[in-house]
A = this chain, B = another copy of it.
Amino acid sequence: MGNCCDRAGNFFGPQKNTNVRVSLPAVCFVWQIAMIVLFGVFIRYDEESDAHWVVHKRDHNITSDIENDFYFRYPSFQDVHVMIFVGFGFLMTFLKRYSFGGVGFNFLIAAFGLQWALLMQGWFHSLDHTTGKINIGVESLINADFCCAGSLIAYGALLGKVSPVQLMIVTLFGITLFAVEEYIILDLLHCRDAGGSMVIHAFGGYYGLAISWVLYRPNLHQSKRLNGSVYHSDMFAMIGTLFLWMFWPSFNSAITDHGDGQHRAAINTYLALASSVLTTVAISSMSQKRGKLDMVHIQNATLAGGVAMGTAAEFMITPYGSLIVGFCCGIISTFGYLFITPFLEKYFKLQDTCGVHNLHALPGMLGGFIGAIVAAAADESVYSKEGLINVFDFEGDFANRSPGTQGGFQAAGTCVSIAFGLVGGAIVGFILKFPIWGDPADDNCYDDEVYWEVPEDEETIPPVLEYNNHMIHKHQEISESNFSVEQS
């Protein structure tokens, strides 16, 4: 009771104003209204989701409704949707007192981001130049969810240290940068990146790290008491981990080619993830006294195989190739949590709450280069002539590109995504330094009480405690003590 107010009282040092009562609603309203206007001008149904489909079907001799792209992609879309909202959301609930912020702001970011992504990606990739409209279907929804993933990854580096208004800024710029780098990588460089090792993970990871680096808080140790998990918050985070882990095959296969493309991407991702789990457990156990496992590793590094397969999953990397990728990335990611994150914090002044460097940035970068190598090694004996064309889309302007050249472009694409992340993140970081966004004070990070009405939990006081309490008061009377009571 009084306690809550006391703690709240601490929030508002002279320099920090965390009141977002004007700014947060203003941003939400302005941006949502802008979305409505822009959707009104630009967004229409594509031919498979428009009521004219019945005519389109007849004109194109499509014999069955099952040929609608909806049936090829909707199950994968829903899996991706779960990853974005439950996967990323619950993975970020591990902090003992920032679970509301973890899952709630994730929800806000993604709900705004997917709208802006439909527009940005539409303008760059699917604008119909005849009508000036963007025609959307289920594949657009998947791509919009993917686009949000970049900003959600960035949130992982910032978790607990920024205000929801800042997160809306991060998302606005994150989606914008994403659409541009994606256009450069996929359209201009003609890279393949179905599961987004480059465009999602490497970009999102370095974007978040660059922002976090600019926003470095030298006195963050003042919030150290809250920068950790409790037993049940670790369990909530495992919900996020498992839904990410289970549905990653859908993530990497959601927008690959119909038929063998989706099929193979799912198999490769499934295998890489399985392999990651074993090496994560091995390294985690080796690193601790008595071989005890650390939940941070299990919650995160087990996913590294999925990140690293984002580019190569649709290629003929072979099942054992997938296992090797998972094997290595489980090790590297766990090492990252053990050594690289503390190192970066100490020597590079980089505070990375969720360790996105180890889960997204580094494995994403590796995934980009793995993709480059596998692409460069492709040949017709493995893919068949037509298969090679299908998988790498060697058609039109790119009909004469060789696998070796493709490998070079894939590697270049990876560098582009990292550059966009670092430069874009640095700029956005400086924007976020303006003292108007309502971010928390250093002694007030990782605390839901700053932005949420938090229930008071009085009922968790076990009965025996009330008994103690009663006894104490009795004692007080008896001993007639007069020391001053400092209620913490």
Query: How many angstroms from the CA of A265 to the CA of B237 in the assembled complex?
Result: 32
In the complex, the 7 A-B pairs of residues with the closest C-beta atoms, listed nearest first: A21-B291, A51-B387, A53-B260, A111-B277, A65-B259, A28-B282, A39-B320
B65 near A246: Cβ-Cβ < 8 Å: no
Task: Please encode chain A, from 271 to 303, with 1 for each CB lying within 8 Å of some chain B CB and 0 for all others.
Answer: 101110111011101101111111100100010
Interface of A is mostly: helix
Copies in the complex: 3
Chain B residues with Cβ under 8 A from A93's Cβ?
235
Shortest distance from the beta carbon of A295 to any chain B beta carbon, whole Å:
6
* Chain A residues numbered 69-110 whose CB sits less than 8 Å from any CB in chain B: 69-72, 74-76, 78-79, 81-82, 85-86, 89-90, 93, 96-97, 99-100, 103-104, 107-108
Kindly state whether residue A126 has any CB partner on chain B within 8 Å: no
B78 near A72: Cβ-Cβ < 8 Å: no
Kindly state whether residue A67 has any CB partner on chain B within 8 Å: yes
B49 near A260: Cβ-Cβ < 8 Å: yes
Shortest distance from the beta carbon of A127 to any chain B beta carbon, whole Å:
15
Task: Please encode chain A, from 225 to 239, with 1 for each CB lying within 8 Å of some chain B CB and 0 for all others.
Answer: 110111110111011
Chain B residues with Cβ under 8 A from A479's Cβ?
475, 478-479
* Chain A residues numbered 195-252 whose CB sits less than 8 Å from any CB in chain B: 225-226, 228-232, 234-236, 238-239, 242-243, 245-247, 249-250
A263 near B48: Cβ-Cβ < 8 Å: yes
Kindly state whether residue A15 has any CB partner on chain B within 8 Å: no
The answer, among B29, B69, B281, B463, for a CB contact under 8 Å with A3, is B463
A-B contact pairs, 6 of them (CB 8 A): A3-B463, A25-B282, A51-B390, A65-B72, A70-B263, A111-B277
